[in-house]
Structure 1
Amino acid sequence: MKSFGGPILCLDRSDINTDEIIPAKYLTEITKEDLKPYILEDLKLPGFDPKGEKTLTARVIVSRGNFGCGSSREHAPWVFEVNDITAVIAESFARIFRQNMFNCGMAAIELPAEQIDTLMKYAAFPDTIIAIDIERQQITVRGGGQEEQFAFDVSPFDKALVLAGGWVDYADQKY
């Protein structure tokens, strides 16, 4: 079974759109793998480097509200997939982006603003790791000698998609 979690990348802003996740000029690439070097290339945040170590080693993104807004392109989750990002945790998601994440077998987890604030504080610790238990719907964050847990909700169908590895694998198992 796929493991969810790992080092985090905190993007402390709302309304991060799909053009910032993967710029439109790369949508003509032939394979998902061709998208890999362009992850978050157009995202402008103080101190953020799309080619930096935190971006390249991240397996979980933590952000604010309305993550993935903008165009309804599958390329945004795809660029996360080929960069081994297994989950995005945010206050809320654009509806189509959220479903595209589940369809690709990745977790799109919504938490209240207070819990996102707590996760953002963990960004100060270089050893911070998030573990996500999809079955139990629980997140564990560890860093700086501290540990906290949060529960999250996900529909049974979306959970099944993620656990199966995405829509295609789910359909292969069920039909």
Structure 2
Amino acid sequence: MPDSYFDHEQALDFDDYANQLLEQGLQESPAHLHGGICGLLVAAPLEPDHCLAALCQALQLDIRGELAGSSLQLILATTKAMADDQFEFHLFLPDDETEIEQRINALADWCRGFLAGYAMAVTDPGADGLGDEVAEILKDVSAIAEVGMDNEIDDEEAESSYFELTEFLRFATLNLAQDALQMDEAE
């Protein structure tokens, strides 16, 4: 996983984004916000400004100033990556140099954000019921949101499990995004 998110010209670094959150007095993880963005986008594709407003509402945050600009950049990059047929989409998580326990906690934060964003988007009165595949994915995301570091496994096994979970979430998100795109195009 690269230490910055998407295009190299306007890369968004995880740690820099975390610092922007702290400067604005927010204790949220960048992973949590990215999960929220992804949940919103796969449930109801939104324009970036609307997505930012919905994100603030879903996660009960007040995002403004430089942080709002960075968040819009993250929304645009995420939207672009989800639509890319080369599977360039990745979860916005700490880099591989970060302790495995912190990365596992960030992954759980990402899942909690995803669920909050998704729930926010489907509370729309016009939203359809969940299909079986969507319900199963949400159940899995909910289970992953509860993960923590198991002290009885070694770091190599933890790394392997972490990688498998991130790949599962990446492709589950892409599948949901493609379904949402197809539904949007059909309307």
What TM-score comes out, normalization by structure 1 length?
0.29
Which structure would you say has the larger RCO, counting Cα contacts within 8 Å and 6 or more residues apart? 2
Structure holding more helix per residue? 2
Higher strand share: 1
Q: Normalising by structure 2, what TM-score?
A: 0.28
